[in-house]
Amino acid sequence: MVKTTVLTPSQRSPGARDSEQGIALSHRLPRLALEARRVSAFVNGVHGRRKAGPGETFWQYRMLTPGEASSGIDWRRSARDSKLYVREREWEASHTIWMWADRSASMGFASSLAQAPKVDRALVLALALADALVDGGERVGLLGLTRPLASRRIIERLVEHIAGDVAGMDADLPPARAIGRLDEAVLISDWLTPLDKVLAALGSIGVQGGRGHLVMIIDPVEESFPFAGQAELLDLESDLRLDVGDANAWGKDYRVRIAAHRDAIAAACRKLGWTFTLHHTDRNASEAALRLAGLISSSRDMRAA
């Protein structure tokens, strides 16, 4: 018989354990792959935009256009000539990744088949990715909570903010906060919300053209429903309860429905140009982390191209 456990709200907040696991996982991520891509695409940890703009690296000298502020003149270069030159630097801007991890009551669930509760898995994934990305020169922010950060102690900073966010304990969906056109969002949840609400949330985030990565964390029990006999099902977020006379028979319908829900979300992601990652809590967290790191990197390349 499969046993299920439900976490209390305090257990759903990130703690030292999640931080440590996040650090450990981020350290296990293949640094080499990120490194290689950085050589080609990153300069000093930021992305060169292949055009003039604010930055540190020399891009080109150009003639001073009349009306331009004299402070931009490169006097050393101009002294060799009779013309006035302006020294332009390459426009450098670092990428921003917005993270969001669902910490609602439905996430605080683990069955005896799972390795960890869903919320643990979500937080570990988010923190590990944040650490790896900041290491790689990106800026990471919590969607709706922080500005993009590039701190060396990114995990501690993020954990502080997450722990301070009491309202987020009940939020089933990410805050409807639009991200920049070039930003990316990593949204980790169980997405056990009606499809239209999910679509609305995704739409409002990507309204400026930002893309994202959707991670669906599910407990193996939620997929297979291995119960039989008489059962009383309890919902964690509402007082909803359902007496099921024959769990086995009910499970057959359930499996069809949950598969349909999952497929619908995946299809919606594809339509929006987002990626969809399915992660079971009976699998190792590193699998999902690896896949996400790969997805973020490849989307970067795609955009850079």
Partner 1 sequence: MLGLPLSFMAPIVLAGLVALPALWWLLRVTPPRPQRIAFPPLKLMADLLPKRETPARTPWWLLALRMLIAALVILAVAGPVFNPQGGQESASREPLVLLVDNGAASARDWAGRVQLAESLIAGAGRDGRAVALAGLAEPAASLALGTPAEAEDRLRALALRPHMPDRSAHLADLQSLLAVAPGSDVAWISDGVRLEADDAFSRRLTELARNGRVTVHAASAPTMLFLTDVENLASSLNVRVVRAQPGAPSTVNLRASDQRGIVLGETTTLLPASATETTASFALPIEVRNAVTRIEIVGERSAGAVLLVDDSAKRRRVGLVTGVTADVAQPLLSPTYYLSRALGPFADIREPRPGISDPIGQLLDQNLSVLMLADVGGIDKDTTARITAFMERGGVLVRFAGPRLAAASDDLTPVRLRRGGRSLGGALSWDAPKTLAPFNREGPFAELSTREEVTVTRQILAEPDGELSRKVWASLVDGTPIVTAERRGAGLVVLFHVTADTTWSSLPLSGLFVDMLKRIVALAGAAAADIGQTGEARVETVSPVTVLDGQGAFRSPPATARPVPRTYADRAVHAHPPGFYGPRNATLAINTLKTGDRPAAIDFAASGLTTRAIEAPQARDLRPPLLVLALLLLAADTLATLWLGGRLKAMTRARAVAASLLLAVLASGAAGLHAGPAKAQTPTQAPAQVAPPAATQGTTVPVPREQVAAAATTRLAFVLTGDRRVDDTSKAGLEGLTLALSTRTALEPGEPVGVDPSRDELGLFPILYWPIVAGRPQPGAETMRRLDAFMKGGGFVIFDTRDADAQRSGRATPEGDHLKQMLSIVDVPELEPVPRDHVLTKTFYLIDGFPGRYDRGQTWVEVLPPPGPDGRGPARAADGVSPIVITSNDLAAAWATDRRGGPLFPLQGSSPRQREMSLRGGINLVMYALTGNYKADQVHVPALLERLGQ
Tell me which residues touch partner 1 (CB under 8 A): 1, 3-6, 105-107, 109, 190, 192-194, 219, 221-222, 227, 229-238, 240-247, 249-250, 253-254, 257-258, 261
Residue 73 per-residue DSSP state: B
Q: Minimum Å distance from CB 198 to partner 1? A: 11
Nearest alpha carbon to residue 274 among 127, 118, 98, 150: 98
Q: Which is nearer to partner 1, 12 or 38 (CB)?
A: 12
Q: Which is nearer to partner 1, 224 or 284 (CB)?
A: 224
Question: To 5 degrees, how large is the angle CA 90–CA 37–CA 157?
Answer: 80
Q: Minimum Å distance from CB 238 to partner 1? A: 6
Instruction: Give the H/E segment covering residue 273.
Output: none
Q: Minimum Å distance from CB 5 to partner 1? A: 8
Q: Minimum Å distance from CB 170 to partner 1? A: 13
Cα dihedral across residues 133, 138, 142, 144: positive or negative: negative
Q: Which is nearer to partner 1, 67 or 245 (CB)?
A: 245
Nearest alpha carbon to residue 52 among 61, 43, 63: 61
Q: Minimum Å distance from CB 258 to partner 1? A: 6
Q: Which is nearer to partner 1, 187 or 198 (CB)?
A: 198
Q: Which is nearer to partner 1, 36 or 256 (CB)?
A: 256
For 111-139, give the DSSP string: ETTSSS-HHHHHHHHHHHHHHHHHHTT-E
Q: Who contacts 27 (Cβ-Cβ below 8 Å, separation ≥6)? A: none
Nearest alpha carbon to residue 41 among 94, 82, 77, 118: 94
